[in-house]
């Protein structure tokens, strides 16, 4: 496995491990975040993904050569989704999204082993909010965790208002 370089800079800067949900709409904002962190020299980064998504991630990270990409093996026993599907875009129906999310959760042991082996150790795990199980992974490895939800603040506020003040209860 390749991890962030051990140059002098990486010992001074925080080392952030980033793990998006396997969907381009979730991955792209985190790739953009990596570019901002690197441009401002705020952190070294290790980006977690699966083999099937690695080319897309590496292409998005071009220019961030010191960012390591760790490829996790997508579970072969994920029988509820079509073989070879490692991204939500590959699902034939959104009805399969829950099964896909369950299959993604099978990556937990690999993520924990990779986090535990990181040199330098991760200062923070930044994981997609859809990957709820990464809270337990971070606690197991002893790494602080921040959840990332890529929807806009406006959309989040509207959702919360809709839930708490249902304007159309009769519909």
pLDDT digits (tens, 9 = 90+) for 88-106: 999 988 888 999 999 999 9
8-164 is classed CATH 3.40.50.2000 = yes
* Cα distance between residue 96 and residue 60, in whole Å: 27
End-to-end CA distance of the chain: 53
Beta partners for residue 10, in sequence order? none
pLDDT at 16 over 70: yes
DSSP character at residue 123: S
* Cα distance between residue 68 and residue 79, in whole Å: 30
Q: Dihedral of CA 146/138/20/5: which sign? A: positive
If DSSP codes are grouped into helix, strand and coil, which group holds residue 151? coil
| Each residue's pLDDT tens digit, 123-140 | 999 999 999 999 999 999
Higher-pLDDT residue of 80, 166: 80
pLDDT at 87 over 50: yes
Mean pLDDT of 14-22: 97
Closest Cα to residue 126, out of 144, 110, 106? 144
Q: In what order do the strands lie in the sheet with 124-128?
A: 68-72, 44-50, 15-19, 124-128, 145-148
pLDDT on residue 113 = 98
What residue segments make up the domains of the chain, in order of their start?
8-164
């Amino acid at each position: 496995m390749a991890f962030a370089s051990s140059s002098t800079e990486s010992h001074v800067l925080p080392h952030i491990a980033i793990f998006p949900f396997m969907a381009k709409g979730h991955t792209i904002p985190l790739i953009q975040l990596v570019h901002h962190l690197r441009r401002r020299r705020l952190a070294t980064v290790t980006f977690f993904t699966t083999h099937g998504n690695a080319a897309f991630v590496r292409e998005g990270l071009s220019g961030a050569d010191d960012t390591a990409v760790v490829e996790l093996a997508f579970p072969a026993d994920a029988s509820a989704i079509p073989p070879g599907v490692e991204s939500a875009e590959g699902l034939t129906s959104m009805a399969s999204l829950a099964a896909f999310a369950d299959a993604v959760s099978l990556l937990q042991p690999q993520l924990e082993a990779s986090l535990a082996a990181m040199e330098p150790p991760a200062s923070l795990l930044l994981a997609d909010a859809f990957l709820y199980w990464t809270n337990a992974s971070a606690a197991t490895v002893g790494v602080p965790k921040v959840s990332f939800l890529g929807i806009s603040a406006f959309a989040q506020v509207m959702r919360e208002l809709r839930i708490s003040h249902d304007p159309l209860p009769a519909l």
